[in-house]
Amino acid sequence: MLRPNQRIAWMISFGLIWFGCAGCPAPKPAETSRQNPEKIKSSQESWGAIVLQGEKIGHTMEKIERLTHDQTDYVRTTTVEQMQIQRAGQPLKMAIENVFLSLPDGSLKQFSTKVDQAGSVTRFTGQVARDGKTLSISTQGGSSQGVANDSIPWQPGYGGLHAVYRLFQEPPIEAGQKRSAMALVPTMNRMAKHSIQGQEKEAVSMLDGSMVTLLKTKYLTEIEGQPPLESTAWVDEVGEIVKMTSPVQNFEIYRCSKEFALSPNKAVSFDLALDTIVPVDRMPQRNRDELEELTYEVKLKSGDPAKIFASSSNQKVTAIDANTAKLRVWRIRPDTKLPAELPENDKPTDADLASSPLVQVEDPAVQELLRKAKFSGANATQQVMLLEKFVHDTIEEKNFSQGFLSAAEVAQGKTGDCTEHAVLLMALLRAKGFPARGALGLVYVDYGEKKGFAYHMWTEVWMGDRWLPLDATRGKGGIGVDYIKVTQTDLSGSGAFAAFLPVTQVIGQLEIEVAE
């Protein structure tokens, strides 16, 4: 069966590779215990093809094992998603692996997740406490594979992959039925309410051109603090998903044979970087860097931009209707007076200064770079501007072939795109004592035939009473009004990748124009 919770993992993956991500070998099963061997009672394996523009670009595999250990029954669910796609003309491979161990009723006991980003591996492992009230999660990331530990509140009935599977199959969902369960979202490592609603049967086209009658279902995932995610799944008479759609750029997944799933992928013309550029009407073409303010009108085909785009740092979002908002952006510098209309800045947290598996403040390579930066006689403002330019000059090879590398890996390899510039600048600023975080959004670009807003990541540093935006990919001493922020992140702990979710809900949905 194709697993609906996989669809959120794809969305996070797509978000990562728009800013950076990548590939994996076979997953390691979650361990029940080393003392007594487990007994496998049954094992079921299924395969799927990930399709874009009618061509297979990757595959999924899932295995469901029912086993017994210490006289207790368990269900172990293993999923693998792999794909290859093009970003800025360069091929990128990516994969996510999950191994979840649950009780037959869906209650989660432990899990492991692996995300391989072009050789940079991030691993998450989680264990539910004996009293069922806490899920402890360990995160390993970067070349140093340092470990960070945190936990999230839990309840004994909360589940994982198997809990969502049961919504569709135990018993098979029927038209008019509604079901829901609380379950962990893989990769994001956050709890969500998963709801399905059986709709009507309809004829569905398959990869070979045939038509199959399937039950259409609406699948909704609601994570606290995030806009709800909605997608469509078509199921057969036993509740197995035969076809799914992702709201991101029309990716689809079809149930298929293992032979077809593992067959060579096809190249597609779609480019994640170039073909997602959002055109904009009436964009000023001269002296944009000098503009103090610019107002945009942003519209989403599905969703409310006032609930997705951030009102913070240097921009304010005001709703116009359910799908449209006015977005005012200001050019902020350390010495400029903050506009009265700008929302009060949220203060930095401890995480904005801390080391993490992606922002290794204390890593030797990061510390060595900090020693090379020349701060002699510089005040605080000059220091942050110096670091922005220093990172711009330090990353010698500007390319899109890397995944989302950690700060330590960037410090060692000195290569990457906007994510690598942003994360290294975050680490150096924190190492120097400045609270810093990442900003995710869009920046205006002019590639000749391609003009518009491209998805981008930059850095924000706390300076006295404001978050000051910096962009080490350009190294110009701050940013202008041709940047639009969707959200921000401290990239801390097990939920670091959750910050990319709002961006995935914008991609392929957004229209922008400069307000008159």
Checking DSSP bridges between strand 397-398 and strand 415-416, what pairing results, if any?
parallel
In contact, 439 and 459? CB cutoff 8 Å: yes
213, 202 Cβ separation under 8 angstroms? yes
At 401 the pLDDT is 56
Enter the DSSP assignment of 419: H
Q: Walk me through the domains of the chain, giving residue ranges and CATH numbers.
A: 4-27+39-261 (no CATH), 280-514 (3.10.620.30)
Q: Which residues of 101-136 are buried (b: 16+ CB within 10 A; e: fewer)?
A: bbbeebbbbbbbbbbbbbebbbbbbbbbeeeeeebb
| pLDDT of 20 over the 60 cut | no
Reference 132, options 159, 165, 112, 150; nearest CA is 159
User: What pLDDT, in 10s, does the model give residues 249-276?
Assistant: 578 999 999 999 999 988 777 777 787 8
Mean pLDDT, the chain, as a whole number? Answer: 88
Q: For 434-489, what is each residue's pLDDT tens digit?
A: 999 999 999 999 988 889 999 999 999 999 999 999 999 999 999 999 999 999 99
Statement: residue 17 has pLDDT above 60 = no
Cα–Cα distance between 54 and 36 in angstroms, integer? 48
Contact in structure between 253 and 2 (CB atoms under 8 Å): yes
Confidence band of 1 (pLDDT split at 50, 70, 90): low
pLDDT for the residue numbered 25: 34
Full-model pTM: 0.84
pLDDT one-digit tens code per residue, 362-400: 999 999 999 999 888 889 999 999 999 999 999 987 666
